[in-house]
Amino acid sequence: MLSVKNISFSYSGVLAIDAISFDVKEGEVLALLGESGSGKSTLLKLIYGVFDVDFGLISWKNQEILGPKNKLIAGPEFMKYVTQEFDLMPFTSVSENIGVHLSSFCPLEKKERTDELLDVVGLSKFAAVNIQFLSGGQKQRVALAKALAKAPEIILLDEPFSHIDSFKKRPLRRRIFKYLKSKKIACVVASHDKNDVLSFADNILVIQDGRVLASAPPEVLFKNPQHSSVAAFFSENSCVDGDIYYAHQIKLASKGPVKARVIKSYFKGGKFLVEAAYKGEALFFEHDISIAPGSLVFLSLDKSA
pLDDT at 154: 97
Do residue 151 and residue 255 come from a single domain?
Answer: no
Is residue 32 in a domain?
yes
Is residue 230 in a domain?
no
Give the chain's end-to-end CA distance (angstroms, integer): 37
Is residue 69 in a domain?
yes
Is residue 53 in a domain?
yes
Do residue 104 and residue 207 come from a single domain?
Answer: yes
For 217-242, b/e burial (b = at least 16 CB within 10 A) is ebeebbeebeeeebbebbbbbbebee
Is residue 25 in a domain?
yes
Do residue 191 and residue 256 come from a single domain?
Answer: no
**Residue 168 in this model has a pLDDT that exceeds 90:** no
For 168-199, b/e burial (b = at least 16 CB within 10 A) is ebeebbeebbebbeeeebbbbbbbeebebbbe
Confidence of residue 246 (pLDDT cuts 50, 70, 90): very high
Do residue 21 and residue 132 come from a single domain?
Answer: yes
Confidence of residue 279 (pLDDT cuts 50, 70, 90): very high
Residue ending a domain, choose from 223, 251, 282: 223
Percentage of residues of the chain with pLDDT beyond 70: 100
Do residue 186 and residue 251 come from a single domain?
Answer: no
* The total number of structural domains that make up the chain: 2
Q: How far from the centroid of its chain's Cα atoms is residue 168's Cα?
A: 16
Domain with residue 180: its CATH number is 3.40.50.300
Do residue 241 and residue 217 come from a single domain?
Answer: no
**Residue 72 in this model has a pLDDT that exceeds 80:** no
Which region among 47-51, 216-220, 231-235 has the lowest average model confidence (pLDDT)?
A: 231-235
Is residue 46 in a domain?
yes
Do residue 84 and residue 127 come from a single domain?
Answer: yes
Do residue 183 and residue 251 come from a single domain?
Answer: no
Do residue 63 and residue 105 come from a single domain?
Answer: yes
pLDDT tens for residues 75-131?
889 999 998 888 898 899 999 999 988 888 888 889 999 999 999 999 999 999 999
Do residue 60 and residue 180 come from a single domain?
Answer: yes
In angstroms, the CA 75 to CA 182 distance is: 24
Q: What is the mean pLDDT of the chain?
A: 92
pLDDT tens for residues 30-42?
999 998 889 999 9
pLDDT at 303: 81
Q: How many CA atoms, within 13 angstroms, populate the side-chain half-sphere of residue 92?
A: 10
Do residue 153 and residue 296 come from a single domain?
Answer: no
What residue numbers bound the domain in which 207 lies? 2-223
pLDDT tens for residues 255-274?
878 999 999 999 999 899 99
Domain with residue 244: its CATH number is 2.40.50
Confidence of residue 181 (pLDDT cuts 50, 70, 90): very high
Residue ending a domain, choose from 194, 223, 252: 223
Do residue 199 and residue 112 come from a single domain?
Answer: yes
Cβ neighbors of 51 (< 8 A, separation 6 or more) are 9, 42, 45, 67, 68
Is residue 155 in a domain?
yes
**Mean pLDDT across 139-143:** 94
